Amino acid sequence: MHTVPGWGGSLRVSAVEAGGLPLEQLANVEARARAGGESFQFAARSLPRSLKKQYQARAVPAWQRAAPLFFAGERLLFVPGLGTDARCLAAPGAPQRMLAWEPGPGG
């Protein structure tokens, strides 16, 4: 569990067999506020859509929309309430980690 200062929560990082991020993408993860214009791809065979539309389509509550977005450089990796961007998923069989946002004390 990694406390994310200033955000009122923590980022849990767990080893998984599939559906996670490759380890090399996690070396310099940065928490950022929404800036507008971000896109998110929910599944491998879906189209990237604006983050706003993804939140609306999945009825993500407002409190989750206020959580930080997690980036590696300019690449959006993980969005609380939506999950891992499908464009960033690790290859099958590669070492990988799943991220999860946990609101609470510590921010």
Task: Note the pLDDT tens digit of each residue in 6-65.
Answer: 898 999 999 999 999 999 999 899 999 999 899 999 988 889 999 999 999 999 988 888
Q: Is 45 left (phi over 0), alpha (psi -120 to 50) or beta?
A: alpha
Domains held by the chain: number: 1
pLDDT in tens, 73-98: 999 999 999 999 999 999 999 999 99
Is the model's pTM score more than 0.75? yes
Residue 57 CA to residue 94 CA, distance in Å, equals: 31
Residue 106 has pLDDT above 60, yes or no: no
**How many Cβ atoms are within 10 Å of 63's Cβ, its own excluded?**
10
Label residue 46 exposed, middle or buried (CB < 10 Å: 0-12, 13-18, 19+). Answer: exposed
Nearest residue to 106 (alpha-carbon basis) of 12, 40, 14 = 12
Range of the domain at 76: 2-103
